[in-house]
Amino acid sequence: MKRIGFLLVCTLVIGIVYGCLPLPDTNADAISVCSFNIQFLGNYKLKDDEALTELLEDFDIVVIQELVAPPVDVTYPDGDTDAADPEAKEFFDSMTARGFDYWLSEEDTGTNGTIHQAGTGTEWWVAFYKSDVVEKALDLPHGFLAEDRSDHPDYERVPYAFSFRSSDSHADFVLVSVHLQPGSSAADATRRKHEIDAVADWISDTETSEQDFIILGDMNIEDGDELASFVPYGFESLNSGCAPTNTNPNSQRPYDHVLFHPSPTSEMDQAYGFRVIFLVSELEGNWEGEVPYPGNPYDHGTFSQYFSDHNPVHFALKPQQVDDD
């Protein structure tokens, strides 16, 4: 992973020191996967797409949360149409110029009764991927986890499953992208637990021989106590140590997680583990904006508009000689 430099500093968070070590090169056959909530992608006109896509260009798969507008002209399942959003299109153009193909959901999803609006109230799902490394596996479970994508009783935003197969056919897997209920109240935590249990139920109820289901994304977990009661039976979180994944140094939280079944998902490279790219430090050296760098001193509102309020997180999969389904 030639571009992605990692901090050699350590961050003190809630009395725990998280080691920030340079990342070893992955095995040549490994598949690198990044999950990244880019705040209101397709809304903020200040978004520094070139800086973000340069940071992401060496991953094999990049799953994005919080895309709030379509990057291309779309026809929704009900026949309605919408034009491409220029801010979203700019990011997609930059990613495709760096060698990515993409898989975009058929429509947006949201907590309200109205969808098919290019606004921050709903979100689209997208996975970018390098087609020489993986391809879509449409014979495996994929798509929205429910037919009704608005105001769903089980989900704030109906999750989306992306199924992939390695180019050598030694690995196939399903990535379920989620963005769960935010907030620090007990009611918010209860809602998040309901959502993740609904995802786990969907996986267990899906009729397929495939067993490699990985749930990833912005789960809005507040702390280790919540995580302990949150993870569905049989799953583990790669971020079991609750490393902070948001950018705000004044209020750090372990929002982002990767959940997997350790037994069937033998492709998960647990030695590689769960890694965080710290945007504030990583992007400062190449800042060429017309205003002072919003990460030093940190200006949360401005930094989020240029980049995000979340850091990218990533992990690796190791294809087996014979796929274990």
DSSP states of 46-97: T--HHHHHHHHTT-SEEEEEEE-S-SS-EE-TTS-EEPPPHHHHHHHHHHHH
Dump the DSSP string for 82-150: EPPPHHHHHHHHHHHHTT-EEEE-SS-EESSS--S-SSTTEEEEEEEE-TTTEEE-TTS--EESSS--B
For residue 323, what are its two tokens? 């796929």
Q: Confidence class of residue 256 from pLDDT cuts 50, 70 and 90?
A: very high
The reply to whether 323 falls in a domain is no
| Structure confidence by residue, pLDDT tens digits, 71-129 | 999 999 999 999 999 999 999 999 999 999 999 999 999 998 899 987 899 999 999 99
> Is 6 domain-assigned?
no
**27 in any annotated domain:** yes
Q: How confident is the model at residue 264 (pLDDT cuts 50, 70, 90)?
A: confident
User: Is 53 within a domain?
Assistant: yes
Confidence of residue 325 (pLDDT cuts 50, 70, 90): low
* pLDDT tens readout for residues 215-244: 999 999 999 999 999 999 999 999 999 999
Q: What is the pLDDT of residues 139-195, one digit of tens each?
A: 999 999 999 999 999 999 999 999 999 999 999 999 999 999 999 999 999 999 999
pLDDT at 23: 42
Contacts of 243 (CB under 8 A, 6+ apart): 13, 18, 254, 274, 276
In a domain, residue 302? The reply is yes
In a domain, 312, yes or no: yes
pTM of the model: 0.92
Supply the pLDDT for residue 161: 98
Q: Write down the pLDDT at residue 156.
A: 97
Over the range 99-115, which residues count as b (16 or more CB within 10 Å of their CB) and which as e?
A: ebeebbbebbbbeeeeb
On the question of pLDDT at 265 being above 70, the answer is yes
Tens of pLDDT, residue by residue over 279-306, are 999 999 999 999 999 999 999 999 999 9
Q: Who wins on pLDDT, 250 or 211?
A: 250
**Structural domain boundaries, residue 182:** 11-317
Residue 45 lies in a domain: yes
The confidence band for 323, taking pLDDT boundaries of 50, 70 and 90, is low
Is 4 contained in some domain? no
Across 8-39, b (16+ Cβ under 10 Å) vs e yields: eeebeeeeeeeebeebeebeeebbbbbbbbbb
For position 72, which CATH number holds? Answer: 3.60.10.10
- What's the pLDDT score for residue 117? 82
The sign of the CA dihedral 237, 238, 244, 247 is: negative
Per-residue pLDDT at 262 = 92
pLDDT single digits (tens) 55-70? 999 999 999 999 999 9
Higher pLDDT, 26 or 29: 29
Domain count for the chain, please give it: 1
Q: What is the percent of the chain with per-residue pLDDT over 70, rounded to a whole number?
A: 90
